[in-house]
Structure 1
Amino acid sequence: MRVISLVPSITEALFDLGLATDEIVGRTKFCIHPKDWVDKVEIIGGTKNLNIDKIKALEPDLIIANKEENIKEQVEELMKDFKVLVTNIETLEDNYYLLKQLGHLFGKEEKAQFFNLKTYEAFNITKSDKRLKVAYLIWKNPYMTVGGDTFISKILEELGFENLFKDQNRYPEVQLEDLKDADLIFLSSEPFPFKEKHIVEIREVCQNQKIMIVDGEAFSWHGTHLAKCGDYYRELLEDL
């Protein structure tokens, strides 16, 4: 089967499940894992600016998209000519069924079950008795955070945190003053590449909060990636 993945985390999952480069024939420029393998796969644009002509030329049997990652109109255009699987992952349970579905689709059921068990183990860790309030920033100029209906927010909850903006939807803009009710401020390494200098800037306003840069992939990449983050989650909670 010739597959094109329009989702970075799903590209990683397909390789983890055991698909080869003659099966995964197209991927986005943001599909960076696993590096040794994705470099051998044709780039078909970005997640939100797909090269439709290049995709058509690759003649895929299946295209895998995501409701949040990709543009609806572009996906609908592809649906006119190809079979498209549109995923929508909002919770860990959704992630479980995604891997189960991919495992069944490609005859990789055992590998899918392995990664689901490893994901369960990754979150089976000792959490703080006190639910610390977290403001999780994903963007700067303007500052943007995550609402309660996002996958990132669900991962925060699974790790025992409380999303300060759980009552808001999607990715609201915030002011630094809005972060003062948080115990912790997490600066995600992606999509905006927060650095140490940004901690200094934010600390000028938020002087009583612990501010730290966190691995954005560990909070936002679904699929098999979460199964590899157990040590990272453990160390994060121990540091706090």
Structure 2
Amino acid sequence: MQPRAFDAAGVAHETAGVHARIVSLVPSITETLFALHLDGQIVGRTGFCVHPRDKVRAVRKVGGTKAVNLDAVRALRPTHLIVNIDENERDTVEQLRACVPHIVVTHPQTPQDNLALYALLGAIFDCDQQAQRLSEMLEDRLRAAATHAFTAQSVLYLIWREPWMTVARDTYIAAMLRLVNWRTLPDVQGGAAGAARYPTLDFDAAPWLAGVDRILLSSEPYRFTSTHRDALARDPRLAGKRIELIDGEMVSWYGVRAIEGVDYLMRRASAA
């Protein structure tokens, strides 16, 4: 059987048989596998793989995205392990190579990259028709976003506190926000020398803060609440800024969630 698809690491993968046993270490990929109707082949997932809620309960947990229980993975005898460059540790993946025949590496960096992700999973797990359906749905949303005139906004997207952390412009999150003409500050690229993809910040040492129109408090990985929003609204350094909560899953989860995520952001931006 000839290789049909190349993953984010450049590795060619053949089509798996109906007896494939899949362990996913990526929450958004786990959700996507179910959307591709692969329920019977998913044998392992992380504790952070919580969607779809009614189906993941039946799948064994193998730890977290970073703290993976290697023995639990081995015990499941997977044929395929699906990982992500940003979310999983390289050392963990290398240790599992000895017992997992096929490791599929993913790394979507823009909403459009989900089209290739759908095609990759469709080719490997012989569900091209379902993958094409997802592609058509996402392409429809992307076209709608591209033809809508959204008001330009400069946003500070916060993902953590103590220390405060945000996102660089070459992250998937920033690319999603750009679909609705929301540009992230600070204007940094994580690939630049010495720059982090998820930089820390100090409100007292951020001259660009004056240019921020709105501050978005994500529900993950740190679960910001209305209490945090109200506290920031009282901070004199942020006077005049619009501060609001935002669903982090809709913005940061790729795969099938991107379809709903684009709709979510379009509604948010249109109501602004």
- Tell me what 1:127 maps to: 149
168, 175, 190: which one pairs with 2:202? 175
Structure 2: which amino acid aligns with 1:220? Answer: S
Q: Aligned Cα RMSD in Å?
A: 1.3
Instruction: State the shift of 1:121 in Å.
Output: 2.6
Distance 1:185 1:143 in 2: 12
Aligned pair 1:6/2:25, yes or no? yes
Instruction: Tell me the TM-score normalised to structure 2 length.
Output: 0.84
Structure 1: which amino acid aligns with 2:128? Answer: E
1:151-170 matches, within 5 Å, as 151-169=172-190, 170=197
Per-residue CA shift, 1:6-45, capped at 9, x if unaligned? 000000000000011x310000000000011000000000
Distance 2:177 2:105 in 1: 25
133, 141, 144: which one pairs with 2:165? 144
Per-residue CA shift, 1:126-161, capped at 9, x if unaligned? 232x42101100001110000012110111112211
- Tell me what 1:202 maps to: 232
Structure 1: which amino acid aligns with 2:114? Answer: N
Structure 2: which amino acid aligns with 1:79? Answer: R
Structure 2: which amino acid aligns with 1:45? Answer: G
Per-residue CA shift, 1:95-117, capped at 9, x if unaligned? 21011110111121121111122
Aligned pair 1:43/2:61, yes or no? yes
- Tell me what 2:83 maps to: 65
224, 232, 238: which one pairs with 2:264? 232
% identical equivalent positions: 37
Distance 1:112 1:166 in 2: 35
Structure 2: which amino acid aligns with 1:172? Answer: P
Q: Is the 1:184–1:209 contact (alpha carbons within 8 Å) kept by the matching residues of 2? A: yes
Structure 2: which amino acid aligns with 1:181? Answer: G
Secondary structure at the aligned position of 2:112 is classed as: helix
**Structure 1 gap ranges (5+):** none
